[in-house]
Amino acid sequence: MVQGPKLDWRGKDIISIRDLSREHIEDVLYHAQQIRPDPNLLQGRVMASLFFEPSTRTQLSFATAMQRLGGRVIGFSGTESTSIAKGESLQDTVRTVEKYADIIVMRHPLEGSARLVADTVSIPVINAGDGANQHPTQTLMDLFTIKKFHNRLDDLKIGLVGDLKYGRTVHSLAIAFTRFRKIQLRLISPPNLRMPPSVLQELTGIVSYSETDQLDLSDLDVVYVTRIQKERFPDIEEYEKVKGAYVITPKVCETLKPTAILLHPLPRVDEITPEVDTLPQAKYFEQVQNGVPVRMALLKLLLLGA
């Protein structure tokens, strides 16, 4: 990866992939590739990790990233033991937190909460997921993984598989690809879990895409599989109907190109069988590992600049 023009990151927020240009994305990926653990780099800095709803990977990888750079982590997971349980507003909570910390990483169940917090406080804010809306650092680590294996983010055939209606990771990834050239997206999902028209509208005229319910993966460079998320269904019967619709098995993987990579934002339930894990195309655990360097790079850029 080659460093582009020096961008001004210090004090910025990372709220939505829509805020990031190609230059921004490539700069983060460049720094993620370069960064190494350094116990002195963020020594004395404090990251507030505000997880209003549970998370395993995101919360732990942010904490790991901060600690590998010598910073400290404060915060909470769940709201039971906080003033929020007493009815404190989100804005009041973060106005307090900014007095203690240098940067906020937040996950919250309500859409728009991250932007509200960024508008409220003067320290940098990283959105670690706001409801069904955005999770930009997931998208950056997805792109980092794709770039690592294909050495490019242009001229790729990408299949997005599974829940394309409720899955925020696929919305963000599809929008991110509007920043790159010669991308062909194949949107593979049951008819009732298609990509929302509002996302398709953003792709139109920029990214070539097709929608299908057939699991045809044979010519793809990247296959991105998503979990059909029970918690996003207002109607449990609708969930039961579609939960096993697109399962990746070793037999399905026989149709993949040898150079194809299989990604998944995790956690998976039964959409990729465990036997697939040892196949050469299975890269989802490397993808999750890439969350750490990408988040290390972001913490460094927002706190210290490029």
Partner 1 sequence: MSDGELKVSKIKNGTVIDHITAGMAPAVLKILGIEQGCHDTVIVAMNVRSQRLGLKDMVKVENRVLEAETVKKIAIVAPHATVNIIKDFAVVQKIPVELPQELIGIVRCSNRNCITNIERVTSYVVVESREPLRLRCHYCETLIEGPYASVLLL
Under the binding rule (CB under 8 A), the answer on residue 102 touching partner 1 is no
8 A C-beta contact, residue 191 and residue 164? no
8 A C-beta contact, residue 155 and residue 127? no
Q: How many CB atoms lie within 10 A of CB 249?
A: 11
Please give the Cα distance from 100 to 151 (Å, whole number): 41
Give Cα separations from 172 to 22, 45, 54, 168, 289 (angstroms).
Answer: 14, 30, 21, 6, 19
3-state secondary structure 143-197: HHHHHHHHCCCCCEEEEEECCCCCCHHHHHHHHHHHHCCCEEEEEECCHHHCCCH
Residue of 3, 4, 10, 18 that binds partner 1 (CB under 8 A) = 18
Written as six digits, the tokens of 170 are 């696929």
Under the binding rule (CB under 8 A), the answer on residue 113 touching partner 1 is yes
- Which of residues 166 and 209 has its CB atom nearest to partner 1 in the complex? 166
8 A C-beta contact, residue 101 and residue 74? yes
Residue of 46, 73, 84, 132 that binds partner 1 (CB under 8 A) = 132
Under the binding rule (CB under 8 A), the answer on residue 88 touching partner 1 is no
- Which of residues 138 and 287 has its CB atom nearest to partner 1 in the complex? 138
Written as six digits, the tokens of 73 are 């982590």
Residue type, 172: S
- Minimum CB separation of residue 148 from partner 1 in Å reads 28
Under the binding rule (CB under 8 A), the answer on residue 122 touching partner 1 is no
- Which of residues 109 and 244 has its CB atom nearest to partner 1 in the complex? 109
* Window contacting partner 1 (CB under 8 A); options: 39-47, 108-116, 140-148, 203-211: 108-116
**Where in 140-199 is the site for partner 1 (CB under 8 A)?**
198
**Where in 191-250 is the site for partner 1 (CB under 8 A)?**
198, 201
- Minimum CB separation of residue 252 from partner 1 in Å reads 34
- Minimum CB separation of residue 232 from partner 1 in Å reads 11
- Which of residues 112 and 267 has its CB atom nearest to partner 1 in the complex? 112
Give Cα separations from 95 to 17, 29, 86, 118, 200 (angstroms).
Answer: 25, 31, 16, 11, 37
| Sheet of strand 156-161: strand arrangement | 208-212, 183-188, 156-161, 222-225, 261-263
* Window contacting partner 1 (CB under 8 A); options: 21-29, 132-140, 218-226, 280-288: 132-140
Residue of 3, 38, 96, 111 that binds partner 1 (CB under 8 A) = 111
> Number of residues in contact with partner 1, rule: CB under 8 A?
20
Under the binding rule (CB under 8 A), the answer on residue 116 touching partner 1 is yes
* Window contacting partner 1 (CB under 8 A); options: 84-92, 150-158, 240-248, 277-285: 84-92
Positions in the binding site for partner 1 (CB under 8 A): 16, 18, 89-91, 108-113, 115-116, 130-134, 198, 201
